[in-house]
Amino acid sequence: MEYTQLGRTGLKVSRLVLGTMNFGPQTDEADSHAIMDAALDAGINFFDTANVYGWGENKGRTESIIGNWFAKGGDRRDKVVLATKVYGNMSPDNSSVWPNHDKLSAVNIRRAVDASLKRLRTDHIDVYQFHHIDRATGFDEIWQAIDVLVQQGKILYVGSSNFPGYKIAQANEAAARRGGTIGLVSEQCLYNLAERRAEMEVIPAAQDYGLGVIPWSPLHGGLLGGVLKKQAEGGRRSSGRAADALNDPAVRKQIQAYEDLLDKHGLEPGEAALAWLLTRPGVTGPIVGPRTAGQLESALRAVELELSEEVLAGLDEVFPGPGPSPEAFAW
């Protein structure tokens, strides 16, 4: 496994991030623990979750599965850089009736941290991430709440997720004005070959402010994982985002060109899509969310995969991206 520093921090993390969103809803606790053990054995030390994972009546379940894994001992917690998120509604009756159980008010941040620590069975969170922007709460209030938690030793670093470039700037300028606050150190955003809009402003803002970029959905809901080849071979049919996208003839033609290019070079689409992200400026490591041990093994091979200049150029032809801002939309 390769390691890199998370943004401008001294924290060293693996070039692949283990995403845990499937733990609970799709992968039971025993298999989830086996996947985490395999990831740790392979050198993956960066684990990502969120307080709402488990979803619906089971929200918080994923954090509990991770906490039970930590409780097994074997230095599991000490070896892991643990990241979780706050924003989603965690109202105890699973409704929106009760206020102050979501978003980024000082009240909810304090409540959410303590609840996550309890579920995760740990005394601190390494990277605490804002899952979404909160248009109703100013950054001065947010950073005041974070400062207290850092002083208490409950969190070490703070990251963002799904922030536009201007919000990354606002957040870190507010932190700088306060003094003594490190500000955001990472941004977790939707970024892959088929969805490159982050290159316009989010990634440049992250680079300018020293944030590590952590792409989520690196296979774009399975669309970049060899979906057409699997269909042709009678494998599992696509669903969700991938199935909806393939209903568009233009998208289907683009994905066919992508798979043909990689087949020509003897490359597996899912592994190549991950390897491409590892070549992108500012990227710390993509989040991989395996449902099975086999999917984890495939993701691990991507770290060792070196894409030739010919392949990289071919991928740019199939998925050209928007180009930098402001040239992408102006002269």
Residues 6+ apart with CB under 8 A from 251: 223, 245
The CA-CA-CA angle for residues 304, 310, 316, to 5°, reads 95
Q: Positive or negative CA dihedral for 16, 122, 84, 223?
A: positive
Spatial contact of 47 and 35, defined as CB atoms under 8 Å apart: no
Buried/exposed 76-94: b ≥16 CB within 10 Å, e otherwise: bbeebbbbbbbbbebeeee
Retrieve residue 190's tokens.
């939707």
**CB-based burial of residue 230 (10 Å sphere; 0-12 exposed, 13-18 middle, 19+ buried)?**
middle
Cis status of the peptide bond prior to 322, with omega within 30 of 0: no
Distance CA 197, CA 158 (A): 24
The span from the CA of 331 to the CA of 317, in Å, is 22
Do the beta carbons of residue 8 and residue 210 sit within 8 Å?
A: yes
What is the C-alpha separation between 104 and 110, in angstroms, rounded?
9
| Catalytic center residues | 53
DSSP code per residue over 81-127: EEEEEE-S---TTSSS-STTSSTT-HHHHHHHHHHHHHHHT-S-EEE
Token reading at 146: 């974070």
* Partners of residue 127 on adjacent β-strands: 83, 157
